[in-house]
Amino acid sequence: MRIIGPIIVIVLAALPFAACQKGDGLSYGAGARAAQAEGQSPEAAAEISDLDLPVDTLFARACGHGVKTFECAECRYEVGVVKAPPGLFADGLFRETKVASRRVEQALTLTGEVGFDERRVRHMSVPADCIIRRVHAVLGDRVAAGQAILEIESVAVGEAEEDYLAARALLTLARRNHDRVAELQREGIASEREFFEARQELEAADIRVGAALGKLMRLGMSGEDAAALTPDVARGFVTLRASASGTVLSLRAVPGKAAGPDESLAVIGDNSTVWVSADLYERDLRRVARSCASGTVPAAFETSAYPGETFSGTVDFIGPVMDEVSHTVKLRIKAPNPGGRLLAGMFVTVRIFLPGDEETAAVPETAVLTDEGRSFVFVRHHDDYYVRRPVETGRTWPDWTEIVAGLAGGETIVADGSFLMKSDVLRSKMGAGCAD
């Protein structure tokens, strides 16, 4: 509506608004049914909704302007007809579709929980039992790879530092000894055997430093921090850094708190997509697995945090393990999470849609409009003319609505933009197009 607003203003200003006796427009009222229309006077028949009259009757009618009603820019709405020039389809305002038979999808309802997309996040834990001394980030911070997040103090780190410093000191001695023996050997004072022993010691010392450094790094220390260690600064402290850039999505670290290697203290990454983990019963496993193997399985889910709102996703993975107690398998659903509104830990009710053997006529849900409790679609009649036709709807799926009655299949209907056809505003715009 926003798009066509300015055009309408111009159209309204330019239209000469010829007086029309029947200018009150479409009667959308439920009115009497077609059966009652038989044998009634034209005045009484005019009260009947266009939805209850055969298409041929509607297109045969003439209006007070001496033309066919459907051709009259001012009266065609009385017979439920709109004229939509191809330009509006080319502009993307409208989209047509054929009424086609569609394989019925069967919904399976599961319970689930929102979690992080584990491929997009990194968990931060401590490498050994420790005390958290400082926390450098807060929840929601954008952090860069390598940025300091936590500072911990650990006995294991202190011991590893001592080992590393001792190995480094021994390496210095071994190197000095090696260089001295090499000098003596060149002068013919030391034997070749003494030289090889010195070189062996140097190599062994080098390996010991490498091993001690490896241990420190496994405890979370960076190479730079290790290189900067001296007996004065070694106190068992390690600064833990972000391993990748991202947002701090979870943070359970508090200064002074003891922590162990088996707990996740922080989660850093991106939650623009999330994983919903749902429990799938053993009896449904085969059906779901078969559907996943043959195509995308759509899912829709709701959470009590956002009543009335439906989120969508697709089944991504079927877990490899069956829970012995509940006899369920974890089903993973990948879902976009714009704005990060879905939070890890939220409980959700999930519906997944599996293709069935049954086929039925269905149209995009945007095609179906309702007025005073009756559903209708706009069907293309000929050229640029579209007419409202009543339909009976059945089941609904994400984006699709079943048509139980009213359409035979093969008709061209308006899929997108039909609500604009219904609106009075567009009627003025269409009317302008016909008036020429």
Question: Taking Cα atoms as reference points, which of 105, 102, 107, 23 lies closest to residue 65?
Answer: 23
> Which residues from 74-133 bind Zn ion, rule CB under 5 A?
74-75
Question: Mind giving me the DSSP string for 326-385?
Answer: T-EEEEEEEEE-GGG-S-TT-EEEEEEEEEEEEEEEEEEGGG-EEETTEEEEEEEEETTE
Question: Cα–chain-centroid distance for residue 245?
Answer: 21
Task: Draw the binding track, 63-82, toward Zn ion (x: CB under 5 A; -: no contact).
Answer: x-x------x-xx-------
Segment near Zn ion (CB under 5 A); pick from 61-69, 295-303, 338-346, 368-376: 61-69
Q: Is the dihedral of CA 166, 167, 170, 176 positive or negative?
A: negative
Find where tokens 């053993």 sit.
Answer: 282
- State the nearest-atom distance from the C-beta of 66 to Zn ion, in Å: 8
Segment near Zn ion (CB under 5 A); pick from 57-65, 151-159, 334-342, 347-355: 57-65
> Which residues from 349-378 bind Zn ion, rule CB under 5 A?
none
- State the nearest-atom distance from the C-beta of 110 to Zn ion, in Å: 56
Question: What is the number of alpha carbons within 13 Å of residue 17 lying toward its C-beta?
Answer: 7
Segment near Zn ion (CB under 5 A); pick from 60-68, 98-106, 137-145, 396-404: 60-68
Between residues 23 and 54, which has the closer beta carbon with respect to Zn ion? 23
- State the nearest-atom distance from the C-beta of 25 to Zn ion, in Å: 11
> Which residues from 244-273 bind Zn ion, rule CB under 5 A?
none
Between residues 74 and 316, which has the closer beta carbon with respect to Zn ion? 74
> Which residues from 178-237 bind Zn ion, rule CB under 5 A?
none
Between residues 75 and 268, which has the closer beta carbon with respect to Zn ion? 75
Length of the chain: 436
What is the rounded CA–CA span in Å between residue 100 and residue 411? 8
Between residues 81 and 354, which has the closer beta carbon with respect to Zn ion? 81
Contacts of 302 (CB under 8 A, 6+ apart): 309, 310, 311, 348, 349
What is the rounded CA–CA span in Å between residue 70 and residue 72? 6
Segment near Zn ion (CB under 5 A); pick from 55-63, 116-124, 147-155, 270-278: 55-63
- State the nearest-atom distance from the C-beta of 53 to Zn ion, in Å: 17
Element of type H or E holding 96: strand 95-98
Is there a contact between 431 and 81 (Cβ–Cβ < 8 Å)? no
Is there a contact between 239 and 288 (Cβ–Cβ < 8 Å)? no
**Quick one: 21 exposed, middle or buried, by C-beta within 10 A (0-12, 13-18, 19+)?**
exposed
- State the nearest-atom distance from the C-beta of 65 to Zn ion, in Å: 4
Between residues 58 and 363, which has the closer beta carbon with respect to Zn ion? 58
Between residues 21 and 36, which has the closer beta carbon with respect to Zn ion? 21
What is the rounded CA–CA span in Å between residue 285 and residue 10? 60
Q: Which two tokens stand for residue 21?
A: 């006796």
Between residues 73 and 367, which has the closer beta carbon with respect to Zn ion? 73
- State the nearest-atom distance from the C-beta of 315 to Zn ion, in Å: 55
What is the rounded CA–CA span in Å between residue 199 and residue 204? 9
User: 10 Å Cβ neighbour count for 432?
Assistant: 17
Between residues 234 and 434, which has the closer beta carbon with respect to Zn ion? 434
- State the nearest-atom distance from the C-beta of 355 to Zn ion, in Å: 49
- State the nearest-atom distance from the C-beta of 417 to Zn ion, in Å: 25
Between residues 68 and 95, which has the closer beta carbon with respect to Zn ion? 68
- State the nearest-atom distance from the C-beta of 23 to Zn ion, in Å: 9
Segment near Zn ion (CB under 5 A); pick from 56-64, 168-176, 239-247, 294-302: 56-64
Is 120 strand, coil or helix? coil
- State the nearest-atom distance from the C-beta of 54 to Zn ion, in Å: 21
Site size with Zn ion, rule: CB under 5 A: 5
Is there a contact between 291 and 354 (Cβ–Cβ < 8 Å)? yes
Is 315 strand, coil or helix? strand
Give me the numbers of helices (H) and strands (E) for the chain, helices first please. 11, 21
> Which residues from 154-173 bind Zn ion, rule CB under 5 A?
none
Q: Which two tokens stand for residue 185?
A: 């050997």
Between residues 168 and 388, which has the closer beta carbon with respect to Zn ion? 388
- State the nearest-atom distance from the C-beta of 62 to Zn ion, in Å: 9
Between residues 65 and 287, which has the closer beta carbon with respect to Zn ion? 65
Q: Which residues bind Zn ion (CB under 5 A)?
A: 63, 65, 72, 74-75
